[in-house]
Structure 1
């Protein structure tokens, strides 16, 4: 295992320290419990938008804390759900009276721990709503979930709902908007290599030199199929076909296309794949109205990529375009 770390037991705490000193104007970070909060929180009259999950997926979620996106993020240990006390601390730090919306990826630990935290917060008088993101079309169930996994669509959800909350949308309105995003977003990924969790010290799975895993999860969970390595045209076509047929997306749809590196795929390859995806969608009569390309929802150093499509109307596109200022996503400010 070759990693730029000291002790696997302290890697998350040390990384959080680095995040805090790199972005003191945007973030404040605590480590007991571990919570990342925007510096101006709580914002009077604003719904607090909170998410979180295991570390190792950076910049998700902590890199998306800031104006126009998340009010707080709860980082668990590597590939491990945050605890209820982390989520409760995030609610306490960000609620200014308008309540809190929890955006939860569909992994068993995340669902249970966010649910417990929501109950604790409501018991103290804070109104809370929770929305589950389950955009992965690859599998019905996995090692980590009951039902589909929450993957790349999480970023689009956090951006759009964060923009609405910044504009003053109330708690129920933000929850309805989040549910509409979840209903219209689909993702699928592929792995060429496995990630190595620091405290484990060896790859999560083994792939031959001429193999790839189609439909991999962001924790290295099994995918839909293990197949011989293909060229980019055929690989991207596999992902596009699976995503488009699932909703389904149809000719005339406008979409946001998110082409994501799983951590180890260089931008040279990622832009190549993105160009293929745009061409394939155009051939189907699907208009890419907005796009995002880069390593935003990663799986440590895994080589691979994912595609995410969100069916987007004028309202969603307007919220996507709205100003955002976070460590990892910034425009319009």
Structure 2
């Protein structure tokens, strides 16, 4: 295992300390707890709080989106492991500004269970909460069983829409409903070329042969839909876009935002080659692209590969996506 770390057991806490040292003008630990990051800037009284949680190993998700115009707090666990319900409850309390808190997170067993327990706990303190699970990964379940799908890079768009709606002083139901509308129009699929190494494990958590790829693999190494010989960039994109477009109604004249998301070890040049093909496919269908996102937004340690996310927009969603946001890992200058 080659990693630039100190002790594997200190990987998460030292990462968190680095974030605080680098971005302490934007974020801070909650009462010194290195596993709970909250916004460190002034918040409008009565604004709906937006929180998330999940395992480490996916930066910029989840921690990188705590800040102005996105989420207010994030609780983090060990690599690929959910934080505790207690930490989630503490985070919810800290991010309640008087109008309730939206818990917005990926559809994974540990996160589901712990958020349910956390929201039940804060209910006794009259803190109103709603929960929205991100389920954008079209490879993880059929359209008929979409409730079972995993949450992946599409959650970044969800954080952006939720944060903008909350900053506009929508009430809790309003913020919840507009995020649900956004997620109804978000689809993602990924491809993995190499495995990743959890520091405390010290070896790859799965295997992919040098000449192979896995279409639809999850960000923790969950099985995809096809393992096969490595194809060209255009061929890979064609497979992924066929699955994505086949899962959502898309017509000539529609407008979408596209996210090309590197999984941790994919050069920007390769991401741009893939974006070129996505652009050509959508241009051929008469679909316009608004505010493309190209880079690393939701990674899986040093996994090589990428995901494609399509976000179908209406005027409300377009306005909220355009609205400025500034966090340690996301800045939107009102394009």
Query: TM-score range, shorter-chain basis?
Result: over 0.9
Counterpart in the other structure of 1:235: 236
Counterpart in the other structure of 2:105: 104
Flag structure 2 segments of 5+ consecutive residues without an equivalent. Answer: none
Structure 1 Cα separation of the partners of residues 275 and 195 of structure 2: 22
Shift of 1:331: 2.3
Counterpart in the other structure of 1:282: 283
SS at match of 1:160: helix
SS at match of 2:252: coil
Shift of 1:97: 0.7
Q: How many residues align?
A: 330
Which has the larger displacement, 245-254 or 151-160? 245-254
Structure 2 Cα separation of the partners of residues 146 and 159 of structure 1: 22
1:14 aligns with 2:14: yes
Shift of 1:43: 3.9
Distance 1:98 1:178, change over 3 A: same
Counterpart in the other structure of 1:296: 297
Structure 2 Cα separation of the partners of residues 284 and 74 of structure 1: 41
SS at match of 2:148: coil
Structure 2 Cα separation of the partners of residues 184 and 207 of structure 1: 32
Distance 1:52 1:106, change over 3 A: same
Which has the larger displacement, 184-193 or 285-294? 285-294
Structure 1 Cα separation of the partners of residues 216 and 307 of structure 2: 9
SS at match of 2:38: strand
Counterpart in the other structure of 1:272: 273
Counterpart in the other structure of 1:207: 208
Residues 93-119 of structure 1: per-residue CA shift (max 9 Å, x gap): 111111100002101111111111111
Where do 1:20-31 residues align within 5 Å?
Answer: 20-30=20-30
Shift of 1:215: 0.2
Shift of 1:61: 1.1
1:51 aligns with 2:77: no
Where do 1:1-333 residues align within 5 Å?
Answer: 1-30=1-30, 32=33, 34-40=35-41, 43-140=44-141, 147-332=148-333
SS at match of 2:91: helix
Structure 2 Cα separation of the partners of residues 22 and 92 of structure 1: 25
Residues 214-252 of structure 1: per-residue CA shift (max 9 Å, x gap): 001011111111011000110011111110001232333
SS at match of 1:195: coil
SS at match of 1:44: coil
Shift of 1:125: 0.6
Shift of 1:33: 6.4
Structure 2 Cα separation of the partners of residues 198 and 215 of structure 1: 24
Considering only aligned residues, what root-mean-square deviation do their CA atoms show, in Å? 1.5
Structure 2 Cα separation of the partners of residues 185 and 332 of structure 1: 22
The answer to whether the 8 Å contact 1:28/1:37 transfers is yes
SS at match of 2:55: strand
SS at match of 2:291: strand
Distance 1:188 1:295, change over 3 A: same
Shift of 1:6: 1.2
SS at match of 1:290: coil
Flag structure 1 segments of 5+ consecutive residues without an equivalent. Answer: none
Structure 2 Cα separation of the partners of residues 104 and 123 of structure 1: 22
Residues 174-232 of structure 1: per-residue CA shift (max 9 Å, x gap): 01011101111100000000111111111121111110000010111111110110001
Residues 15-66 of structure 1: per-residue CA shift (max 9 Å, x gap): 1000001001100024636111001365411000001211111011111000
Shift of 1:146: 7.5
Residues 67-103 of structure 1: per-residue CA shift (max 9 Å, x gap): 1000001111100112111111111111111110000
Residues 109-162 of structure 1: per-residue CA shift (max 9 Å, x gap): 111111111111112110000111100000218xxx971100011000001110
Structure 2 Cα separation of the partners of residues 208 and 149 of structure 1: 25
